Structure 1
């Protein structure tokens, strides 16, 4: 698999974006482009071939199409298909498209790893895999929805607002993708990795320091100190960040759910506590967040 690596000090240049929705039988056009195309599938399966490699990109998976490389749908989709897409140029004159092996040997990549914290992606760079998976919280989806909304409100012009929104999206995706598809495992205690992964998949359950300590055979005080050392957060704060990030995604994508239902789905038994934590972290209520980003371009085929 290939990776695109570039210095974030050179912001990428936004071109256009949209949300493709097809009810059945979508077949991607056969073409070469001079831009990168970043895709996140939100429903169904996109069947696409690039440079001789076939990909079946499923819900909550991503694909990066490279400039000047032939890509096309190798078979029609079945049932509903929906995906977000954005076209952009990379402006870093020293950017790379390379294999994982070449990436790990790259000096600039090694330096960016050295500047990062144990659980974070390389600092100050865009690291985009050709094919990837999103974390359970799907933070990239939230930012993609915001980009689509902003593009529509800007009448689909290549504005600076859209450019900055895209750069934020790609930086977030770099972090999210790195945590799931890490090409260079950091030296983190195995149990800390297991613990964070467990929280990411069980955030909707009742989670306490005592229950985690018992499950992973740690003293609660030691677990608290160890967890904060490698994540930068107390356990309760980390859990709330995961829950609120998940809530933001649900608020963007499930308009029919009530705030109480969203709170319950994210592990909050008390709706008022959920609203208080949400406003503390996001500076607005869940309803205000939901109403803030509702427009996006949809193209159907």
Structure 2
């Protein structure tokens, strides 16, 4: 899921215990696709400072390693690994201090139909109390057919968005960085995925998912590299194993053991983009004790072997400025 960061401090409470704050977002109809311009992967060993500039298009940044220190509209941000940042047209941005250590992030330039006034909005977000009003539910319904991304947020633990970003970079390099329909479509798929994760987390998922289920899912996502069993998790969270597995299936569509394995496979897909790790190492890092079992599950879920997946999307442009 994507967790948005509020960029405005205005909040208020109603009798229904809803807290509304404002956040700067880009929003557009999904039926009017974004236009791809260019993309790449910035890599710096140490001391990177982002250029001081004002652009007339959007820039989406997804940090893979390190922390990007950036300022936009006189607000400073520290964008860490697994977080994204959106630069808006007409907004001045720059690095406010050098990075310490390695930094790597994916970036893509794009434009949206209409003027910035039409696509850059301050939108309400619900509070962490999750007591939605009818007005927020109506607002949620209106977002279903739109791309909506906040200025700063986190991608899902499964890193689906990062995989789509890497696929976009691969397509761009294969097409010699010419603007092609495949790049347009890949960009819009990336934006839709990130937007969908954000909307589900902020408006749909969190107020519908029981806290107990959230706790179990987050535990699996945080401890996927450790030995996990249905009986062990049932004992830890105070459930009967059969009931717990059925409970997780009710909200995820998968029995608990399948949810555990799918989480591990999602993580392995991200690690496969690193050619410094062997299949055996990745298998172990994702909590599998048997490399052959890992390969069997990977083929079952993804329709190809880990090696085939690794070779499918492995090209990208690397820049240092």
Relative to the length of structure 2, the TM-score reads: 0.83
Q: Is residue 140 of structure 2 the alignment partner of residue 110 of structure 1?
A: yes
2:159 to 138, 150, 163: 138
Q: After superposition, where does 1:210-221 map in structure 2 within 5 Å?
A: 210-221=231-242
Which residue of structure 2 aligns with residue 127 of structure 1? 148
For 1:255 and 1:177, the matched residues in 2 are separated by 30
Q: After superposition, where does 1:190-229 map in structure 2 within 5 Å?
A: 190-229=211-250
Which residue of structure 2 aligns with residue 118 of structure 1? none
Q: Is the 2:57–2:88 Cα contact (8 Å) retained in structure 1?
A: yes
Give how far 1:6 is off: 2.8
Q: After superposition, where does 1:258-273 map in structure 2 within 5 Å?
A: 258-273=278-293
Long gaps (5+) in structure 1: 113-121
Q: Is the 1:17–1:86 Cα contact (8 Å) retained in structure 2?
A: yes
For 1:143 and 1:175, the matched residues in 2 are separated by 13
Give how far 1:53 is off: 0.6
* Local SS of the residue matching 1:156: coil
1:249 and 1:33, CA in 2 relative to 1: closer, same or farther beyond 3 A?
same
Q: After superposition, where does 1:1-301 map in structure 2 within 5 Å?
A: 1=7, 2-91=24-113, 95-101=119-125, 109-111=139-141, 123-177=144-198, 182=202, 185-252=206-273, 254-301=274-321
For 2:253 and 2:28, the matched residues in 1 are separated by 26
Greater shift, 182-191 or 241-250, is seen at 182-191
Q: Is the 2:60–2:84 Cα contact (8 Å) retained in structure 1?
A: yes
Give how far 1:146 is off: 1.2
Q: Deviations over 1:41-60 (max 9, x none)?
A: 11222111111110111222
Equivalent residue pairs, number: 290
For 2:291 and 2:34, the matched residues in 1 are separated by 40
Give how far 1:126 is off: 2.2
Q: Deviations over 1:60-94 (max 9, x none)?
A: 22101111111111222233222110011223786
Long gaps (5+) in structure 2: 1-6, 8-23, 127-131
Q: Is the 1:41–1:58 Cα contact (8 Å) retained in structure 2?
A: yes
Q: Deviations over 1:198-255 (max 9, x none)?
A: 1111112222222222111122222222211211222122112211110010010x21
For 1:275 and 1:101, the matched residues in 2 are separated by 41
1:85 and 1:275, CA in 2 relative to 1: closer, same or farther beyond 3 A?
same
Q: Is the 1:7–1:92 Cα contact (8 Å) retained in structure 2?
A: no
